[in-house]
């Protein structure tokens, strides 16, 4: 292993999306100075930096989809668009002193726990860095998933994923093949439909689509929130508890049926063609996959220049897409709205613990982390938004803030050269609890195939109940559920790197 001068910090946070920024703000708050953040890109923001496709926005109300400690009275809409969320994240990162601690253009290739030295060795694109504590804040929606259709490499036109939108491609007058009808596709399809010549929408599973209750926030309202922050806090709290009620429909089919009726009515109002309605009607329970919200998806799909294609794709040819029935659909551009690698997260292959095994190997196709955060055999590793902490019904910022509070409690216990990891028993109990809570919910028995479920059929992605019960659970770090150790290695004395200046960032 390379022992040449490495840059050491007590804590290394990898990733600067919502969770990395939240962790850094909390550490600063705790008076912790010895930490840095590594970011593969040149800007903070994570998935909100990367996803710039037309129409990209959030389907959780802005007052809740933000940090509790950094409320934004200036949201221009009740559901924010990507540019505004990205601006918000950059502003929080700057205002709370996070940005100067970020090492941009540091892509994490590998992270290995060195048991002898009692530290993490992070192999980055800029060389090795070391840290006593490693906070992984890489997010679940960071690695786009693009199906490898036979012949894709022969396609002569541009082909790109929604998470890496190619803004240089002018879609006006083009024949476009869109693959996927998930949360991203239903946002960009209405944006591009009016300008393209033809749009073939390849739908494998129709989504449930509810009306989107989005509106502009008036200047008066914004002034009001600015003048009286408590009012915004009150609204946030009301939204929080209102969204918690959504869990009931995931657990009680009768409630779900009522909501399904609203979604069906929404479709009936917007799609007049009976055959198309049939094509767009899901055959699984609502909530089994993420419930989508849009007011312009159905009208776009019902437009004359759009065909919803439900026959599977068999291959891609230089000038189009061929379906299983042999029909060739000419295309100038292919856009993949095919989601992300969630259950087989790439970071799982890159992190290796005490015995050299990767997370992926130790998980055996079913990711698990105690409280979605710590993993036996991986000392001093804290995963933010780890397995079992995703949400479908409310804002992930709630989970993130609960986790960073929990992590800082753990860090207080291991000041000096100590290590912490959960006991196997605690990890098994947590997994059993996720399984018990998932049993008979719409996520596991709703009749769909979703990325919430891993290869073994377990829900290892979502926290399958109320967000407030997760908050409560993580409000107190329980030492008895963990194993502590002391490393005999000398403390690393290399200096902490000074914060990078903005000028350095630009030349990195």
Tokens of 226: 């600015």
Work out which of 340, 406, 443, 452 binds ligand NAP, going by CB under 6 A: 340
205 makes contact with ligand NAP (CB under 6 A): yes
Buried-exposed string 359-381: b where 16+ CB fall within 10 A, e elsewhere: bbebbeebbbbbbbbbbbbbbbb
Q: Alpha helices, DSSP H only, in 16-162?
A: 18-29, 47-50, 82-95
* Shortest Å distance, C-beta 23 to ligand NAP: 21
Work out which of 89, 119, 179, 335 binds ligand NAP, going by CB under 6 A: 179
Q: Total binding residues for ligand NAP by CB under 6 A?
A: 23
Work out which of 14, 21, 58, 398 binds ligand NAP, going by CB under 6 A: 58
CB atoms < 10 A from the CB of 425, how many?
11
294 makes contact with ligand NAP (CB under 6 A): no
180 makes contact with ligand NAP (CB under 6 A): yes
CB atoms < 10 A from the CB of 227, how many?
9
Which among 377, 312, 261, 355 has a CA at the least distance from the CA of 147? 312
Pick 198 or 341: Cβ nearer ligand NAP: 341
59 makes contact with ligand NAP (CB under 6 A): yes
Contact 16, 106 (CB under 8 A): no
339 makes contact with ligand NAP (CB under 6 A): yes
Work out which of 138, 159, 177, 185 binds ligand NAP, going by CB under 6 A: 185
64 makes contact with ligand NAP (CB under 6 A): no
**Angle value at C-alpha 219, between 216 and 225, nearest 5 degrees:** 100
Under DSSP, is residue 32 helix (H, G, I), strand (E, B) or coil?
coil
Work out which of 40, 204, 473, 478 binds ligand NAP, going by CB under 6 A: 204
**Angle value at C-alpha 255, between 310 and 340, nearest 5 degrees:** 40
| Nearest-angstrom CA–CA distance, 211 and 79 | 13
Residue written as token pair 């903070």: 44
Kindly indicate which of the ranges 30-38, 55-63, 68-76, 213-221 contains the residues binding ligand NAP, using the contact rule CB under 6 A: 55-63
Contact 339, 182 (CB under 8 A): yes
45 makes contact with ligand NAP (CB under 6 A): no
* Shortest Å distance, C-beta 194 to ligand NAP: 21
290 makes contact with ligand NAP (CB under 6 A): yes
Pick 35 or 53: Cβ nearer ligand NAP: 53
Work out which of 184, 395, 419, 441 binds ligand NAP, going by CB under 6 A: 184
Angle of helix 396-413 versus helix 18-29 axis, rounded to 10 = 40
Of all residues in the shown chain, the one whose CB is closest to ligand NAP is 182
* Shortest Å distance, C-beta 259 to ligand NAP: 17
Kindly indicate which of the ranges 51-59, 87-95, 458-466, 486-494 contains the residues binding ligand NAP, using the contact rule CB under 6 A: 51-59
Work out which of 182, 190, 379, 446 binds ligand NAP, going by CB under 6 A: 182
Pick 320 or 379: Cβ nearer ligand NAP: 320
Work out which of 86, 142, 181, 394 binds ligand NAP, going by CB under 6 A: 181
Q: What is the DSSP letter of 323?
A: E
| Nearest-angstrom CA–CA distance, 109 and 114 | 16
Give me the 123-162 binding string for ligand NAP, x by CB under 6 A, dash otherwise.
------------------x-----x--------------x
| Nearest-angstrom CA–CA distance, 213 and 344 | 34
Residues 433-462 that bind ligand NAP (CB under 6 A): 451
Under DSSP, is residue 261 helix (H, G, I), strand (E, B) or coil?
helix
CB atoms < 10 A from the CB of 246, how many?
17
Buried-exposed string 284-316: b where 16+ CB fall within 10 A, e elsewhere: bbbbbbbbbbbebbbebbbeeebebbeeebeeb
Q: Which positions touch ligand NAP (CB under 6 A)?
A: 57-60, 141, 147, 162, 179-185, 202, 204-205, 290, 337-340, 451
């Amino acid at each position: 292993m390379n022992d040449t001068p490495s840059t050491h910090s007590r804590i290394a946070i990898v990733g600067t999306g919502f969770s990395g920024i939240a962790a850094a703000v909390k550490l600063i708050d705790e008076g912790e100075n010895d930490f840095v953040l590594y970011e593969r890109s040149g800007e903070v923001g994570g998935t909100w930096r990367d996803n710039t496709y037309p129409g990209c926005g959030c389907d959780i109300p802005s007052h809740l989809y933000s940090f509790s400690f950094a409320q934004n009275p200036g949201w221009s809409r009740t559901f924010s668009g990507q540019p505004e969320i990205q601006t918000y994240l950059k502003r929080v990162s700057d205002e709370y002193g996070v940005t100067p601690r970020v090492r941009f253009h540091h892509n994490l290739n590998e992270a290995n726990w060195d048991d002898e030295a009692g530290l993490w060795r992070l192999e980055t694109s800029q060389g090795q860095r070391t840290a006593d504590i490693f906070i992984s804040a890489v997010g679940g929606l960071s690695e786009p998933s693009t199906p490898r259709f036979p012949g894709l490499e022969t396609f002569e036109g541009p082909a790109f994923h929604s998470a890496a939108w190619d803004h240089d491609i002018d879609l006006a007058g083009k024949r476009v093949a869109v693959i996927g009808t998930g949360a991203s596709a239903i946002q960009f399809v209405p944006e591009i439909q009016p300008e393209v010549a033809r749009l073939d929408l390849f739908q494998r599973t129709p989504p449930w689509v509810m009306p989107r209750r989005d509106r502009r926030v008036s200047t008066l309202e914004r002034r009001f929130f600015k003048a009286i922050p408590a009012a915004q806090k009150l609204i946030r709290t009301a939204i929080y508890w209102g969204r918690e009620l959504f869990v009931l429909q995931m657990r009680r089919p009768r409630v779900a049926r009522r909501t399904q009726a609203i979604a069906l009515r929404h479709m009936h109002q917007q799609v007049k063609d009976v055959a198309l309605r049939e094509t767009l009607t899901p055959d699984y329970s609502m909530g089994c996959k993420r419930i989508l919200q849009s007011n312009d998806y159905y009208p776009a799909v019902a437009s004359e220049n759009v065909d919803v294609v439900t026959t599977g794709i068999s291959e891609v040819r230089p000038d189009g897409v061929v379906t299983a029935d042999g029909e060739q659909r000419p295309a100038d551009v292919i856009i993949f709205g095919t989601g992300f690698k969630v259950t087989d997260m790439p970071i799982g292959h890159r992190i290796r613990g005490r015995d050299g095994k990767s997370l992926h190997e130790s998980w055996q196709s079913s990711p698990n982390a105690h409280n979605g955060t710590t993993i036996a055999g991986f000392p001093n590793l804290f995963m933010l938004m780890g397995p079992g902490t995703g949400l479908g019904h409310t804002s992930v910022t709630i989970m993130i803030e609960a986790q960073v509070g929990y992590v800082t409690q753990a860090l207080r216990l291991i000041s000096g050269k100590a290590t912490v990891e959960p006991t196997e028993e605690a990890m098994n109990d947590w997994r059993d609890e996720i399984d018990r809570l998932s049993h008979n919910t719409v996520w596991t028995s709703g009749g769909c195939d979703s990325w919430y479920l891993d290869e073994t059929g377990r829900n290892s992605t979502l926290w399958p109940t109320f967000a407030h019960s997760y908050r409560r659970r993580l409000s107190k770090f329980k030492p008895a559920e963990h194993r502590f150790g002391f490393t005999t290695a000398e403390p690393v004395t290399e200096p902490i790197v000074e914060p990078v200046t903005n000028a350095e960032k630009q030349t990195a």
